[in-house]
Amino acid sequence: MTDLARATSLLTIDVDAVVANWRRIATLIAPAEAAAVVKADCYGLGVVQIAPALFAAGCRSFFVANLDEGIQLRKIVPGGVIYVLSGPVGGGEQDFAAHGLIPVLNSLAQITGWSAFAKAGSAAPASAIHLDTGMTRLGLEEVEVERLAAKPDVLASVRPILAMSHLACADDDTAPKNNEQLATFRRLSSQLPAMPLSLSASGGIFLGRAFRFDMARPGAALYGLNPIPGRPNPMAQVVRLQGKILQVRDVDSPMTVGYGATHRVAQRGKIATVAVGYADGWLRSLSNRGHGVIGGFKVPLVGRVSMDLTTFDVADVPAPLVHPGALIDLISPELTVDEVASEAGTIGYEILTALGRRHHRRWLTGTREGKPA
């Protein structure tokens, strides 16, 4: 029996679509550089398969969240320029140097530590400096930028090759905060030596040329999420999630469905039980509000999503399409990640990164099908 035949769900990741999305952004923002954010295993879709394809397409700069991700990525794309967004934590400078990773320095303490490490004669790589322009998470506040600017020897020792910040409201092109952060970024970066600048991730790219500077850092847009909510998605879809029907039941009033009996059957119909649940990333918040698609027919999710199973009302679907072993689309071009996220009361980022490891995964590249890692 093949892996696919015994699988209860199938997650298909179109690597070519990821590459096409990166190329579209690279063309749009040229001559600025298009990096790629590949943290969290490429948002849960497989850094081992995706990062080399991006590198082969011409992407040279990559961003990850932490040191372990950076070490893993160095093995996958040995020629890439790899930025680690968390910077050194707990004295990890030597590990950065050993793997040729560029720390994003988020505080004066990290800058001091990296400077001391470099001055000690270590082969310290260059660094990036994170400026807080209004997100109020990581990065140097204005008074800290002024203090750093007054120490040219420290600045020289950390060898910054990028100054960056992050927009808080980039998915809303009407938000006044975007222009406020743009002005703050210009003011703070002007106090530092001239170096490449980066302000925008996926959403910021589409706010206009003024926000793109020398480098943009697309992440979500690469994986098919809409960077301009409320307007047609300019990015190619990347993910398809399908679950297998395990059983089809005839139901009628006054039967109930699922834990808590939260769905009461009103009339004669059919319920299909599908082998995907919250352990697979199909969020419990979709209970009694999500949908699936079978053969072009949209079917409502009824009852609660449980750990391994979800139930759908398939009364309106032609009987030949609904049987044990048939597949129901949970994410597809007809039911996008963003639409699923809206039904779940969350964002597409969470949907992608929550997709569990029990799905049979296949990565599509041209006519070749990638095998699960």
Give the active site residues: 39, 259
Quote the longest CA-to-CA distance of the chain: 78
The amino acid occupying position 299 is V
Closest CA to 127 of 164, 91, 152, 76: 164
- Asked if the peptide bond before residue 160 counts as cis, ω within 30 degrees of 0, the response is no
Characterize the bridge pairing of strands 127-130 and 239-251.
unpaired
Question: Residue 187 belongs to what H/E stretch?
Answer: helix 176-189
Beta bridge partners of 10: 242, 360
DSSP codes, 222-275? GGT--SSTTS---SPP-EEEEEEEEEEEEE-TT-EESGGG-EE--SSEEEEEES
Beta bridge partners of 332: 335
How far is Cα 204 from Cα 300, in angstroms, rounded to an integer? 35
The amino acid occupying position 164 is M
Question: Residue 154 belongs to what H/E stretch?
Answer: helix 152-158
